[in-house]
A and B are shown apart, each in its own frame.
Chain A
Amino acid sequence: MIVCIAVVGHQNNPLYIQSFTEADDALKLHHIVHCSLDVVDERVNNPKKSGPMLNETFLGLLYPTENYKVYGYLTNTKVKFILVTTDLDVRDADVRNFFRRFHSAYLDAVSNPFHVPGKKITSKTFAERVSNIVKSVSFHTTG
């Protein structure tokens, strides 16, 4: 289950962060998202480690916590998407697919002429769309 999804801006500032857990431990998830930015930084700054997937937007598994797995995605425009899931056995392809859908939702949100670049995304439509994507994605079925 996806428990948290975040959009992080150029200055590593959260542009959008939403958790989907019943337990209201959102703060913990915020910490996890924040710490995962270290790994994004490391991946981007030490490209030699990443090997063939050098410039791919999908960064893969960032780090495992005891109960979660954190995946990252870095757009060409240096915006980071962070996904936290409780599913421990996830196929990369499913995560990629999720990020692709999320990216296009994000794109539509920031293309709104009333959205000011670099500010938090407050659009309700975006929030709804994200929650739909999150609901529709299930990493479990793929095994």
Chain B
Amino acid sequence: MVREVSESCMDSLLTEIVSSYCNRFYATKPELAARRIEAIGYQVGHQLTERYTIERPRFNDHLEAIKFICKDFWFELFKKQIDNLKTNHRGTFVLQDNKFRWLSRVSVDPSVEISGAAQEPSVMSENKSAQATGLHLYFPCGIIRGALSTLGIPCAVTADISNLPACSFVIRIKV
């Protein structure tokens, strides 16, 4: 049985989660909002991993688990695989998705650009849009962290969006 989710619903949900937490519940405390959104992602990642790893032999090492995230797990979520995987072989992995689905329709608010144009247009607008986009990335970061923690790999996940819509997730495994 193939279950599908309307993509627009998913986008709306994510947007609504971010805006609820950042603008309503914890408008004054962005770090709390980020934590909450990440926690939601964590649980989602945890439960999805339980499901997607059924009937699969156990992973031997961290790399195998990361590869699972890059290939099968990502495919289940986004119908595509991670485009590029890099590692320093010391517990840091960089997963790059060249067209991250949840950011593919993010655009920069024009009003921000105008207000920013007064001083240093490029820097200002990039900062603002990066901030806004960054809030949308706590959820997928939480998913990855949840997935890996469930596989027995405690880690910290951050995201980097220097050139949209490409997105890199940096995984640092805790030793």
Instruction: Please say whether the chains A and B touch (CB closer than 8 A).
Output: yes
**A: which residues have CB within 8 A of B?**
10, 54-57, 74-79, 100, 103-104, 107, 110-111, 113, 116-117
Chain B contacts for A107, CB-based, 8 A: 50-51, 54
A103 to B60, CA, bound (A): 21
Can you give 15 A-B contacts (C-beta < 8 A)?
A: A56-B58, A57-B56, A57-B57, A57-B58, A75-B50, A76-B53, A76-B56, A76-B57, A77-B150, A77-B152, A78-B151, A78-B152, A79-B50, A117-B42, A117-B46
A77 to B54, CA, bound (A): 9
Contacting pair A55 B57 (CB below 8 A): yes
Chain A contacts for B57, CB-based, 8 A: 54-57, 76
A111 to B146, CA, bound (A): 13
A79 to B146, CA, bound (A): 15
A79 to B51, CA, bound (A): 13
Cβ of B92 under 8 Å from chain A: no
A79 to B53, CA, bound (A): 12
Nearest-Cβ distance from residue A133 to partner chain B, whole angstroms = 16
Contacting pair A117 B58 (CB below 8 A): no
Contacting pair B152 A110 (CB below 8 A): no
Main secondary structure of the interface of A (DSSP, over half): loop
- Nearest B residue to A106 via CB reads B50
Q: Which of B50, B55, B56, B151 contacts A110 (CB 8 A)?
A: B50
Contacting pair A111 B54 (CB below 8 A): no
Chain B contacts for A104, CB-based, 8 A: 54
- Nearest B residue to A74 via CB reads B58
Given A75-B53, A77-B151, answer yes or no on A111-B58 (Cβ-Cβ < 8 Å): no
Contacting pair A10 B51 (CB below 8 A): no
Nearest-Cβ distance from residue A49 to partner chain B, whole angstroms = 15
Given A57-B58, A78-B151, answer yes or no on A111-B53 (Cβ-Cβ < 8 Å): no
Residues 35-73 of B contacting A (Cβ, < 8 Å):
42-43, 46-47, 49-51, 53-60
Q: Which of B42, B59, B146 contacts A76 (CB 8 A)?
A: B59
A78 to B152, CA, bound (A): 7
Chain B contacts for A56, CB-based, 8 A: 57-58
Contacting pair A77 B50 (CB below 8 A): yes
Chain B contacts for A111, CB-based, 8 A: 47, 50-51
A111 to B47, CA, bound (A): 5
Task: Report, nearest first, the 6 A-B pairs whose CB atoms are least far apart.
Answer: A76-B53, A55-B57, A55-B58, A117-B46, A78-B152, A77-B150
Chain B contacts for A10, CB-based, 8 A: 152
A79 to B49, CA, bound (A): 12
Chain B contacts for A113, CB-based, 8 A: 43, 47
A54 to B55, CA, bound (A): 14
Nearest-Cβ distance from residue B133 to partner chain A, whole angstroms = 26
List 13 other contacts, CB 8 Å, given A10-B152, A54-B60, A104-B54: A54-B57, A55-B60, A75-B54, A76-B54, A76-B151, A77-B151, A78-B151, A78-B152, A100-B55, A111-B51, A113-B43, A113-B47, A117-B46
Residues 119-175 of B contacting A (Cβ, < 8 Å):
146, 150-152
